[in-house]
Amino acid sequence: MRVGVLALQGDFAEHMNALQRADSEIETSAVRYAEQISGELAIDALVIPGGESTAIARLVDDGNDPLFAAIKSRAQSGMPVYGTCMGSIFLAREIEGSKQGRLALMDIAVKRNAFGAQRRSFEIDLPVAELGAEAFPAVFIRAPIITSCGPAVTVMATIAEGIVMARQDNLLISAFHPEIVDDSRVHAYFIDMVRSALTAAGSVRSSEALPFTGAGALSPAPYH
């Protein structure tokens, strides 16, 4: 199993480390080129980390960038994609008050920098049923909020301001940054999604087809 992390900006190294903590058997790679998405040695899944969303938006707005064209094509074909913070904005169908470039793959509307100057960074113990009984230490940094979602979206976590974690089929998003804490359950959950997708596609080796038993392993969320 190869899981790539988009490495144009943001905490891509931290995500790669978190994936390895969740399952040391997988391969991770820093993704910068279209050939890593759809070439002979293509990844099986992609993580889009946080960062400055307008920088990537300019590449998407160009309309001819082969990397983002490949990401969108693979995601539409079922490749699991996980977006954190900026990554969730990048996957959203709608960004409130903005027409910035995005993949528009997930039926959600998001609000950028939703917590304002007074709460730009904070950490809370966040209940996420799919991650087990223990709350997850969720760190929010100039985070967005999901303000609405379509019927195909499974809401996984909310706070007073709105939705902060959700899933739609092969797409997973969180407004917080799980890569900067020691708890690897979110990344283990995503790896479980990848393994399920590969098994369903018949593309996984027999040794990988066994249920994931690493720390924090969970069954995928139900689809609506």
pTM of the model: 0.86
Q: Which two tokens stand for residue 192?
A: 């479980």
Q: What are the pLDDT digits (tens) for 6-47?
A: 998 778 999 999 999 999 999 999 999 999 998 777 999 999
* Average pLDDT value for residue range 100-127: 86
Greatest mean pLDDT range, 9-18, 117-126, 137-146: 137-146
Closest CA to 84 of 138, 24, 17, 150: 138
d(C-alpha 115, C-alpha 216), whole Å: 29
15 noted as active-site residue: no
Tell me the domains of the chain and their CATH numbers: 2-201 (3.40.50.880)
Q: Which two tokens stand for residue 137?
A: 């230490």
Strand stretches in the chain, DSSP E: 2-6, 27-31, 45-48, 81-84, 92-95, 106-111, 121-126, 136-141, 145-149, 154-159, 162-168, 171-174
224 noted as active-site residue: no
d(C-alpha 30, C-alpha 15), whole Å: 10
Are 106 and 154 contacting, i.e. CB atoms less than 8 angstroms apart?
no
149 noted as active-site residue: no
Active site residue: 85, 130, 149, 187, which one? 85
**What is the structure's pLDDT at 171?**
98
What is the length of the chain? 224
Active site residue: 15, 130, 149, 179, which one? 179
Active site residue: 130, 149, 177, 187, which one? 177
d(C-alpha 114, C-alpha 96), whole Å: 10
Q: Find tokens 């978190």 and name the residue.
A: 18
